[in-house]
Amino acid sequence: MESLNDVRIHDQIDHWKSVMFLYDSALKEIKTKIEILNSEFVHIYGHTPIEHIKSRLKSPESIVKKLKRIGQDVTIQNMVEKLNDIAGIRIICSFTQDIYQIADMISQHEDVTVLQIKDYIRNPKPNGYKSYHMVVSIPIYLSEGPADTKVEIQIRTVAMDFWASLEHKIYYKFEGNAPATLQAELKACADMVDMLDDKMFSLNQMILSLGHGE
């Protein structure tokens, strides 16, 4: 015969599985919408703006660690209410200009509610980090009815993503306390990434104008 404590543990496990099922379903829904938008973008503008799409669910260890870091008790309720990035989609674009068009097209979906926007492209972090972040909510239709579920969407260029990957490695290598010289070099690289994005966009515009002239 199961004890009351065993029943509670089983209930918590079932609740956890149900919540993670919602986040996984939300990732699939958003990813499908983005893939359709990409096809529509090609139809309207004549080029593919999205290089690739990455999706991920935070691991239980990462969820616990983040809740503790922000001073919250480790509960499923706090996980759902306090964390916005349990389900995450990263969209890698060709050019900076594509980022805002894609973000606008996502926000225009009737069943997508934009909860938060952080524009680190127009307002980069002090270390040079650039990316466009959206937290959206999307209903997942279950037998019991719709369940609104949050997904964080990050949109950045290939160059921004390359820089962010290196910065991420450095952050964890030095536990957020990298030497000042390394931080300065990283910021200098961020400035070069910015120039590269501008140059690549200008080059693409030149190619398009030459093509139209033929």
Catalytic positions, written as ranges: 152
Q: Regarding beta strands 132-142 and 113-119, do their DSSP bridges make them parallel or antiparallel, or are they unpaired? A: antiparallel
**DSSP state at residue 142:** E
Burial class (CB in 10 A: 0-12, 13-18, 19+), 96: buried
User: Residues of 141-161 as b/e, b for ≥16 C-beta within 10 angstroms?
Assistant: eeeeeebebbbbbbbbbbbbb
**Chain centroid to CA 127: how far?**
19
CA distance 56 to 44: 29
β-sheet with 87-93: strand ranges across: 50-57, 87-93, 145-157, 132-142, 113-119
